Every structure is written in structure tokens, then in C-alpha cells.
Chains A and B, each alone.
Chain A
Amino acid sequence: MVIRQIAELLSAKVLCGEDKLDGVVNSACGCDMMSDVLAFVKDQAVLITGLCNPQVVRTAIMMDMRCIVFVRGKMPPADVLDLAEESGIVVLATNERMYVACGKLYQSGLHGGEVV
């Protein structure tokens, strides 16, 4: 799935990484526990989360993820966005709740991929 399509499916605002929306991603992970992301993610490139702190971005960096989707209308503070921008990670924000956001993406073909 192209990242731009994720933004469209979730009516999401693009908060940074506008120039990387044509990137292709193959699987995603929905999680509020960064501990679990660090333990179980393999090559999921998209992180869908309701948590909004710099550790979300650092966790995504560690796992080589390419796109973060903040759900439930969460707006990350400027330092969080700066960190993502520096690291070349696309940040999207949607009003959808976690369950619905994941459901919509899954239904459109963005699946869970393998876990470690």
C-alpha cells in the first residue's frame, strides 16, 4: 500500500514527510506499548498508536519503521514532529479510533506481517 492511501483511507492530516507519501509499505502494527513494538515488530513499516511522546518516534526509528499514524485526534508536540522529520518518518494524524483505523487499513490490504 502507498502511504498516501493510508492518509486517504483514514482522512488523516499529513504532519510531516509530505515528500515521502509515495513510499510503499507492506505491513503495519497497532500498539500503545512501545515495549511490545520493540519486542515483536519485524519488518512492519507502519506504527498506528494512541500514544504521543518522543519515545514513539525513537521506537519507530529503532525498528526502521517509515510511517506513524496517531489516532483519536492526538496531535504530537513540535519536538516529536521535529524528531520524525529529521529521521525521515512520515507522520499522519487521524480522528479515527485505534480499532477502526486498524480495521480500515487491514480491510484495504495492509496486513500484520510476520512477528519476531
Chain B
Amino acid sequence: MGNCVNFHFDIDGDNFTSAGEASVRIKKSLREMGFTPDVIRRVSVAMYEGEINMVIHANGGTADVNVYVDKIEIILADNGPGISNIELAMQEGYSTAPDNIRSLGFGAGMGLPNMKNYTDDMKIESEVGKGTTVFMTVNV
């Protein structure tokens, strides 16, 4: 398991304008590393959804991407409000996003289900009042 390349990003929670920058950078790096368009699309969309979630629901956090030859791990961690009912949050259409977020084009309640669809494995650990960590893996 020696061959791992790690990328780390701090995600600014006060700035919706920059939300998604880390995912765009990862997309570019994976392309340079020669991954297939399908793998790149799956990793970058899943990470982008998660990154946007951290900005709109959790006041930012950190993103770590570990690239192995056979899999790519994405770990998104925040100290936001946490998710009280993960099963409910995973349902398509469930969203607590306020109207101002909806007018920016997000808040359809599609992000978490989409992250699950795009990845081979996804796990959410969350504690109300403490924060949320999302672990995702895409097999190469």
C-alpha cells in the first residue's frame, strides 16, 4: 500500500463563491495522473457535492484525497452542526437548505444520494453539535 498520493484542502465556509475550488483542482490532478474519464467524473462530482455541503451546511471543513493505484479515497470532515438523522438526510429530495441557497442553484436534496451513486463505498459519521465526516471510495 506504499504508493499513495495525498491531497489536502481547507474548505472556506464563509465564501460560497470559492466553494468547489478543491474539487476542480482534484479533477485536474487526476487528469494529469492519467485516470479514466469515468473515474475522474465519479471522484470529482462526489467530492464537489460534499464540498458544497460543507460550505452550505457546516461552515467549511477539510478535504483529503488519497490516491492509490487501485482506489481513490475522499474524506470530508467538518465541525458543523452534524446530521441528526442520516437515513433521512440520504433520501432524495430531503433538504434543510434555506431559500437563499436554493436561489444559488443548490438545495434540491440530491447531493448525498448522488455521492452514494457515484462512489463504490460511502460512510457518514456524524454527531449533533460536533460535526460530520464523510468517507467515500471510488475503485479504479
Q: Give the interface residue-count category, chain A.
A: 20 to 34
State whether A51 and B23 are in contact (beta carbons under 8 Å apart), knowing that A62-B45, A79-B17 are contacts in the complex. Answer: no
Q: Is A11 an interface residue (CB 8 A)?
A: no
- A41–B16 CA distance with the chains assembled, in angstroms: 23
- A39–B92 CA distance with the chains assembled, in angstroms: 10
Q: Is B107 an interface residue (CB 8 A)?
A: yes
Q: Are B24 and A35 in contact (CB under 8 A)?
A: no
A residues within 8 A CB of B44? 62
**Interface mask (A56-67 → B, CB under 8 Å = 1, otherwise 0):** 101101111000
B residues within 8 A CB of A63? 41, 45
Q: How many A-B residue pairs have CB under 8 A?
A: 69
Q: Interface size of B by Cβ–Cβ distance < 8 Å? A: 27
Most buried by B among A38, A64, A79, A116: A38
Q: Are B24 and A58 in contact (CB under 8 A)?
A: yes
A residues within 8 A CB of B113? 39
- A53–B102 CA distance with the chains assembled, in angstroms: 13
B residues within 8 A CB of A32? 105
- A64–B42 CA distance with the chains assembled, in angstroms: 11
Q: Is A2 an interface residue (CB 8 A)?
A: no
Q: Are B17 and A35 in contact (CB under 8 A)?
A: no
B residues within 8 A CB of A108? none
State whether A62 and B41 are in contact (beta carbons under 8 Å apart), knowing that A38-B114, A53-B17 are contacts in the complex. Answer: yes
Q: Are A34 and B45 in contact (CB under 8 A)?
A: no
Most buried by B among A51, A58, A61, A63: A58
Q: Which residues of A line the B interface, CB within 8 A? A: 32-36, 38-39, 51, 53-56, 58-59, 61-64, 79, 87, 116
A-B contact pairs, 7 of them (CB 8 A): A34-B105, A53-B104, A53-B105, A55-B19, A61-B24, A62-B44, A62-B45
